[in-house]
């Protein structure tokens, strides 16, 4: 019987000194204890462990029971008496075993678990692990840091619940785990706080650094991916609660403000492998970006900050974080970047952001990232939001800033729709300059320099007019506006002095391009119609490839519709072009009549 075997080993070991225990004794104790657990004798094993006479034996050998004990706990149902006995054994082991040995055993159990059992194992072992760590005398900070790192690394592969239903279900137990891990860390936070209160110069910074690493990891996972908006029907949002706790820890260890404004990251290991160093840098950037979102969008811990910072300074502090978030493709992270950018911009007055800010790399990179989201993101609501935020960003700059930003976006966007949108903005600024406040940046030689980027075809007469139709229409509308609003005699915009160049670089190539394009598409239509008659059917299909991806098959009728739509676009461009040329001719003739 398993209990008899265990008693025999115990009696043999009771008469030995602690130093006389042999490897064979450890093995026999482990096998007998495991058999007791597996055969259902957990109550008897508990009695053996609680017996004061066996204290030294359990101190040295008890940690060997950890692995079979954890297996048995997960085998029994929640209300089973045997499970309760196993839980009491676990508690006794935490109290009696050698802390160092049990610490390593507990970490090993957490490291070995995977999949659906990760959170169950962590929740089961956090309390005994905390008990053991509080008893450790040497390398305590290292051991706390190692424990937190192992736990967070085990949780990291788990998907973060995002929808209200997923959060309420908490299928894998991640929400529970987040709450429990913070409680696990609290005694060590309190220890750091007490030590800092004792002395203004806190010398033992190792434990503080380990807690800072834990907070940084938590900011990156799960908080960066988590949905943090208030959800109806959830009284205490688990991730909002977790975020509050992490912010509180950072405040308690006096790291919140340095992280937000000084971008302090704690001590980073010196990696010999560059790949590891790059991963460390990226994770740190993600964590700091997540922290800024929590503070400036969700307002966690905002009361800790003095209200002395200008909106432009807050924007400058956050642009690095915004850039980090906007480069990600996950909806949850990308939306956080957009929200953070929008929040910073809404604090500012229009026309208040100085053009000098564009000398910072982030202020150029971020609008380019917005353009990529506007044109490439598969989620429509994020594309629309990006467009609105780009406009908000433009509105905040002074005239020179707007001018510089327009030049940059025209050169870098490589998208006709975006270029058309920027050209419309240029037209609005010119109108403002002509009617309300005269600006040197949107009149005279500065404007002409800008128009050189606007009133031209990228590839001359061979430009794909269909693909560039948005840009071309916006350019023609801008030119029409300039010709109508600015008299040749006044020439405030300078457009009349540059007319010859505009005709050479834009109007004449556009004429040639329209003629070539219309001829090509008309020939295609004729060809399709002839092929249709030869096939005696309109159900012939063909495949079309767009952007390297094969589109659904098109019948001949559908192809003809597309071709006619293209011709309609060319006709529209041609009509606006004709109107512009009529206006130019009329203005030139009127000027000549006045002078004669």
Whether 442 contacts 542, CB under 8 Å: no
d(CA 51, CA 364): 72
d(CA 466, CA 562): 11
Q: Is residue 510 part of a domain?
A: yes
- pLDDT score at 279: 65
Does residue 539 carry a pLDDT above 60? Answer: no
Q: Is the peptide bond before 222 cis (omega within 30 degrees of 0)?
A: yes
Does residue 20 carry a pLDDT above 80? Answer: no
Whether 285 contacts 276, CB under 8 Å: no
Tokens standing for 282?
């990226």
Interval 394-413 mean pLDDT: 96
- pLDDT score at 540: 54
Interval 365-374 mean pLDDT: 97
Q: Is residue 448 part of a domain?
A: yes
Q: Is residue 315 part of a domain?
A: no
Whether 317 contacts 260, CB under 8 Å: yes
26: closest CA among 59, 69, 1?
Answer: 59
162: closest CA among 331, 327, 298?
Answer: 331
> Minimum mean pLDDT among 57-66, 332-341, 410-419, 527-536: which range?
527-536
Q: Is residue 444 part of a domain?
A: yes
Interval 458-476 mean pLDDT: 94
- pLDDT score at 299: 95
60: closest CA among 109, 2, 111, 9?
Answer: 9
> Minimum mean pLDDT among 142-156, 253-267, 323-337: which range?
253-267
Q: Is residue 508 part of a domain?
A: yes
Interval 436-456 mean pLDDT: 92
Whether 263 contacts 292, CB under 8 Å: no
Tokens standing for 502?
């505009």
- pLDDT score at 234: 83
Higher pLDDT, 212 or 558: 212
* Total of domains in the chain: 1
- pLDDT score at 543: 58
Confidence of residue 420 (pLDDT cuts 50, 70, 90): very high
- pLDDT score at 78: 79
Interval 150-169 mean pLDDT: 94
> Minimum mean pLDDT among 232-236, 337-341, 381-385, 467-471: which range?
232-236
Q: Give percent of the chain with pLDDT exceeding 70.
A: 89
Q: Is residue 512 part of a domain?
A: yes
Q: Give me the domain span that covers residue 518.
A: 398-524
Does residue 594 carry a pLDDT above 70? Answer: no
Does residue 187 carry a pLDDT above 90? Answer: yes
Q: Is residue 228 part of a domain?
A: no
Classify residue 432 as exposed, middle or buried by CB count within 10 Å of its CB (0-12, 13-18, 19+).
middle
Interval 36-59 mean pLDDT: 86
- pLDDT score at 265: 46
Higher pLDDT, 535 or 536: 535
d(CA 215, CA 289): 13
For the whole model, what pTM was predicted?
A: 0.88
Torsion angle (degrees, nearest 10) of CA 63, 33, 58, 6:
-160
């Amino acid at each position: 019987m398993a209990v008899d075997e265990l008693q025999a080993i115990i009696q043999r070991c009771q008469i030995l000194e602690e130093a006389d225990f042999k490897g064979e004794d450890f093995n026999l104790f482990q096998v007998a204890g495991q058999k007791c657990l597996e055969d259902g004798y957990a109550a008897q094993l508990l009695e053996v462990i609680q017996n004061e006479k066996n204290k030294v034996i359990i101190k040295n050998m008890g940690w060997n029971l950890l692995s079979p004990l954890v297996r048995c706990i997960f085998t029994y149902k929640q209300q089973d008496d045997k499970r309760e006995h196993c839980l009491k054994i676990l508690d006794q082991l935490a109290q009696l075993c050698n802390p160092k040995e049990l610490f390593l055993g507990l970490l090993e159990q957490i490291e070995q678990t995977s999949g659906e059992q990760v959170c169950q194992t962590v929740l089961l072992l956090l309390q005994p692990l905390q008990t053991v760590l509080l008893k450790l005398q040497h390398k305590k900070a290292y051991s706390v840091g190692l424990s937190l790192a192992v736990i967070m690394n085990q949780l990291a592969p788990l998907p973060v619940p995002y929808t209200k239903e997923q959060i309420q279900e908490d299928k894998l137990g991640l929400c529970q785990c987040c709450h429990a891990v913070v409680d696990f860390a609290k005694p060590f936070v309190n220890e750091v706080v007490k030590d800092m209160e004792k002395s203004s110069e806190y010398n033992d910074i190792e434990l503080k650094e380990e807690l800072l690493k834990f907070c940084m990891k938590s900011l990156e996972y799960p908080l960066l991916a988590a949905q943090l908006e208030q959800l109806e029907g959830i009284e205490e949002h688990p991730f909002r609660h977790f975020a509050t706790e992490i912010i509180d820890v950072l405040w308690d260890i006096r790291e919140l403000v340095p992280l937000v404004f000084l971008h302090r990251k704690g001590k980073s290991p010196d990696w010999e492998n560059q790949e590891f160093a790059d991963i460390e840098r990226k994770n740190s950037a993600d964590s700091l970006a997540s922290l800024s979102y929590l503070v400036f969008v969700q307002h966690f811990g905002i009361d800790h900050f003095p209200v002395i910072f200008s909106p432009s300074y807050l924007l400058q502090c956050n642009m690095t974080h915004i850039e980090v978030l906007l480069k990600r493709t996950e909806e949850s992270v990308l939306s956080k970047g957009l929200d953070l950018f929008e929040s910073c911009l809404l604090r500012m007055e229009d026309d208040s952001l100085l053009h000098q800010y564009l000398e910072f790399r982030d202020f150029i990179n971020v609008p380019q990232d917005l353009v990529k989201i506007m044109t490439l993101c598969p989620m429509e609501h994020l594309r629309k939001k990006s467009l609105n935020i780009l406009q908000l960003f433009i509105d905040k700059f002074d005239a020179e800033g707007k001018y510089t930003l327009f030049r940059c976006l025209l050169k870098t966007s490589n998208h006709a729709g975006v270029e058309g949108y920027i050209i419309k903005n240029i037209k609005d600024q010119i109108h403002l300059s002509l009617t309300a406040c005269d600006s040197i940046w949107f009149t005279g030689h500065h404007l002409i320099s800008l128009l050189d980027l606007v009133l031209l075809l990228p590839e001359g007469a061979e430009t794909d007019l269909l693909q560039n139709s948005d840009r071309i229409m916006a350019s023609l509308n801008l030119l029409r506006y300039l010709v109508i609003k600015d008299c040749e005699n006044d020439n405030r915009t300078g457009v009349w002095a540059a007319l010859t160049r505009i005709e050479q670089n834009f109007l004449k190539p556009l004429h040639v391009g329209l003629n070539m394009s219309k001829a090509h598409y008309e020939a295609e239509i004729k060809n399709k119609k002839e092929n249709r008659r030869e096939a005696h059917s309109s159900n012939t299909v063909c495949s079309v490839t767009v952007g390297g991806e094969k589109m659904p098959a098109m019948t001949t009728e559908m192809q003809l519709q597309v071709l006619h739509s293209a011709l309609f676009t060319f006709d529209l461009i041609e009509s606006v072009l004709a109107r512009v040329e009529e206006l130019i001719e009329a203005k030139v003739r009127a000027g000549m009549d006045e002078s004669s």
